[in-house]
């Protein structure tokens, strides 16, 4: 009996780990190809730039990952990011003394968006895709009206330092923030009641309610966290670009979903991990950087990205299917 239990545990462990290992295998392969195509791709200066880009997308992907594990999806994240980016630029207006005020305003705006999403999806039973897309368009309209189509303001010295400079000459601030958030979310998903409840709801919302898990609180909680992290990314993006743009993070909705799914999280909910998503983030950022290096036209870049994402997904899921059989 004990041997059977151990065998089952090992099989379950392999089932969880193999997709993650395959994602990182693809990531390493892409790095090798990028270095061959463009010698110098792996130089420290360029890798630091890639890490910074990964950090911005990775912060947004934390929230998207939590949402997808519950069986949902959030198409309002990019618009939340843009609104907070535009608002923080005008509130900060280049002054360090306005940093905290701008951050607080961004968090309040993000919290409101996340709560509206959660309430609509759970209590009104609006499909997550429809609810978050509608919220996103409304948020986009608010951002446009707020700046009258022409964003104003600029970053402060401190926010620019966080986004662009290395702390202690070792690591840039936004990457350090991402690492801290990664540790927090991985521990939360694997060691806490919240994490266990998250997966349970993704598997079966009705059964979770009967077992004492408050699905309402969980739904509102994950969409709240997702919006707050998108708002944080928008605030930090201001330091990266120096000023705000309505076109900031234009592809982040699709990129965040692709990163999470490539990382092995099921769009049906109930399974996945942020460790895998990090690999997906790396693949998306490296792919985009490589296309830029090759001077591909935007249309060609999108076609190539779509094709490569499909190939990666087929590779990962086909391998996983063979392992499970």
> What distance in Å separates the CA atoms of residue 146 and residue 140, rounded to the nearest whole number?
10
Q: What is the pLDDT of residues 223-246, one digit of tens each?
A: 999 999 999 999 999 999 999 999
Q: Which residues of 252-262 are buried (b: 16+ CB within 10 A; e: fewer)?
A: bbbbbbbbbbb
User: How far is the CA of 234 from the CAs of 45, 93, 141, 211, in angstroms?
Assistant: 24, 15, 16, 38
In percent, the amount of the chain with pLDDT more than 70 equals: 91
pLDDT of residue 258: 92
Give Cα 83 to chain centroid, integer Å.
17
Q: What is the pLDDT of residues 79-134, one digit of tens each?
A: 999 999 999 999 999 999 999 999 999 999 999 999 999 999 999 999 999 999 99
> Nearest Cα to 81, choosing from 280, 259, 240, 313?
240
pLDDT of residue 233: 98
User: How far is the CA of 152 from the CAs of 90, 116, 138, 293, in angstroms?
Assistant: 6, 27, 20, 31
Q: What is the pLDDT of residues 206-218, one digit of tens each?
A: 778 778 888 899 9
Q: CB neighbours (10 Å) of residue 100? A: 10
* pLDDT at residue 323 is higher than 50: no
pLDDT of residue 311: 76
pTM for the full predicted model: 0.92
Q: Using DSSP, how many helices (H) and how many strands (E) does the chain show?
A: 13, 2
> Nearest Cα to 163, choosing from 222, 228, 89, 110?
89
> What distance in Å separates the CA atoms of residue 289 and residue 310, rounded to the nearest whole number?
18
């Amino acid at each position: 009996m004990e041997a059977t239990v151990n065998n089952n545990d090992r099989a379950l462990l392999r089932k969880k780990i193999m997709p993650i290992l395959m994602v990182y295998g693809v990531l390493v392969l892409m790095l090798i190809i990028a270095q061959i195509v463009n010698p110098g791709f792996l130089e420290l200066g360029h890798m630091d730039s890639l890490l910074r880009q990964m950090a911005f997308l990775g912060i947004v992907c934390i929230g998207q990952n939590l949402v997808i594990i519950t069986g949902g999806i959030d198409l309002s994240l990019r618009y939340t990011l843009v609104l907070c980016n535009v608002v923080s630029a005008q509130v900060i207006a280049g002054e360090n003394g306005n940093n905290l005020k701008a951050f607080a305003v961004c968090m309040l705006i993000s919290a409101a968006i996340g709560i509206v999403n959660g309430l609509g999806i759970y209590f009104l039973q609006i499909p997550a895709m429809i609810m978050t897309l509608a919220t996103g368009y409304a948020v986009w309209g608010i951002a446009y009206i707020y700046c009258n189509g022409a964003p104003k303001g600029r970053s402060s010295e401190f926010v620019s330092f966080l986004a662009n400079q290395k702390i202690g000459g070792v690591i840039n601030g936004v990457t350090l923030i991402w690492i801290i958030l990664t540790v927090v979310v991985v521990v939360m998903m694997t060691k806490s009641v919240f994490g266990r409840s998250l997966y349970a709801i993704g598997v079966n919302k009705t059964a979770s309610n009967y077992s004492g898990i408050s699905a309402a609180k969980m739904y509102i909680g994950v969409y709240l966290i997702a919006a707050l992290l998108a708002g944080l990314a928008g605030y930090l993006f201001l330091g990266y670009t120096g000023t705000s743009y309505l076109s900031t993070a234009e592809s982040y909705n699709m990129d965040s979903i692709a990163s999470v799914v490539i990382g092995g999280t099921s769009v049906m909910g109930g399974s996945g991990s942020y460790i895998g998503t990090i690999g997906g983030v790396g693949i998306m950022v490296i792919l985009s950087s490589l296309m830029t290096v090759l001077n591909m036209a935007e249309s060609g870049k999108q076609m190539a990205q779509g094709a490569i994402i499909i190939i990666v997904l087929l590779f990962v899921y086909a391998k996983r299917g063979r392992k499970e059989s």
